[in-house]
Amino acid sequence: MVEKLDKDRGDFLTTHVLIACSKSKVAPPEERLIWTSSTVLESWNEEWHDQKTTFRADELYTGRSFKQQLKIANSCKDVKLYIISAGAGLIPFNVEIPSYESTFRPRMGPRVTEWHLLPFGGVTNLELDPSDAIISFAPPKYHQALLNDPDINSIKNQLIVPSTSPLSSIASSTIQIHPRAKEVLGIGSSDLNTEFLRMFLSNGLSDFQSMVKKGDNLPPKVDRKPISDQDLLSLVQSLKSIKTLNGLVRHLRDKLKIKASVERISAARKLTNGE
C-alpha cells in the first residue's frame, strides 16, 4: 500500500529531479530524427548515434515550462537533474544530444513500453545512494513510460510522485494533490507541475499541506455551462469593452457562469484582438 510522504526534502542526501522535455528546441532536427509512422526503434537509435551536430541537453529545449523547471532545480542545493525524453530516454541534463522530434502520441514516437530502449535507456541511468530521493512532476504519458520501464521496481522505494500520477500505484511515497489545486494556486493547468516542483524544492511538504487545507475550505464549485470554441470566440468578441484578461475571465466564469479555462479565454481574446 502506498503511503503519503512523511519526510521533508531536507531529510534526503540528494534529490534526483526528473522533468519532461519540451517540443520546442533551439534548432530544428534533421529529417532523419523526426519520428514518423514508418520509424522503428532500431533505425531511430542508429540515426541518433550518427548525428554530428549536438547541443547540451539543458540548452536544447526552449519550452517555457522546461526552462522554468530547469531554473528552479538549478537554484537548489543537492539536486541532480534528469530529462524524461520521448526521443532519447532518461537524459542527464548536461550531456550532448542532437535535436529531434518525437512524442508519446501514436505514430509520432515510441510506445511507452519501448521508452527504456531509447538511446539513453531508462531508470538504470540513476545512480542512487540509499538516502537519496527521486521526485517527478510531469505529464501522465511521461510517468506511464517510467511505469513501463522493466527496472522501475529498483527505484520505487525512493520515488516520490503526486497522488495524481500513474506512478502513484507503485511509488513508496506520494504527495497529496487537492483536486482543486488550480483554484487554490490561481494558475492554469500548464503551470501546475512547475509550481509543484517549486513548492517541493523550496519548502518540502508544508506548501502542499497548506494547499490541501485551502482546497478543503473552498466554497462548492459553481455549475458552469460548457461552450464550444466558436461560441466562446463570438462571446469574447462581444465583450471587447473589457480591457484586461483577468476582467474577462472573471466576467465569463463568475457572472455568465461559462465553463472555459483561462487558456481558452486568452486564446479567444488574442484572436479577437488580432494578436
The string of DSSP letters for 83-133 reads: EEETTTEEEETTSEE---B--SSTTSS--GGGGGGSTT-SGGG----TT-E
pLDDT above 90: percentage of residues in the chain: 89
pLDDT at residue number 223: 87
Confidence of residue 9 (pLDDT cuts 50, 70, 90): low
Cell numbers of 11, please? 531529510
The per-residue pLDDT of the chain, averaged, comes to 93
Strand 96-97 versus strand 55-56 pairing type: antiparallel
The continuous run of DSSP H or E covering 142 comes out as helix 140-147
CB atoms closer than 10 angstroms to residue 42:
9
pLDDT at residue 200 tops 70: yes
Q: Which of 97-101, 120-124, 127-131 is predicted least confidently?
A: 127-131
pLDDT at residue 235 tops 70: yes
pLDDT at residue number 1: 27
- What's the pTM? 0.80
- Local structure of 185: helix, strand or coil: helix
Query: What SS3 string covers 205-273?
Result: CHHHHHHHHHHHCCCCCCCCEECCHHHHHHHHHCCCCCCCHHHHHHHHHHHCCEECCHHHHHHHHHHHC
Confidence of residue 66 (pLDDT cuts 50, 70, 90): very high
- What digits encode the pLDDT tens for the residues 11-37? 678 999 999 999 999 999 999 999 999
Task: Please report, as a single letter, which amino acid is at residue 120.
Answer: F
pLDDT at residue number 93: 86
Strand 15-20 versus strand 79-85 pairing type: parallel
- CA 233/CA 236 separation, integer angstroms: 5
Angle of CA points 263, 265, 270, to nearest 5°: 95
Whose cell is 461559462? That residue is: 258
Cell numbers of 118, please? 531509447
- What digits encode the pLDDT tens for the residues 162-172? 999 999 999 99
pLDDT at residue number 81: 96
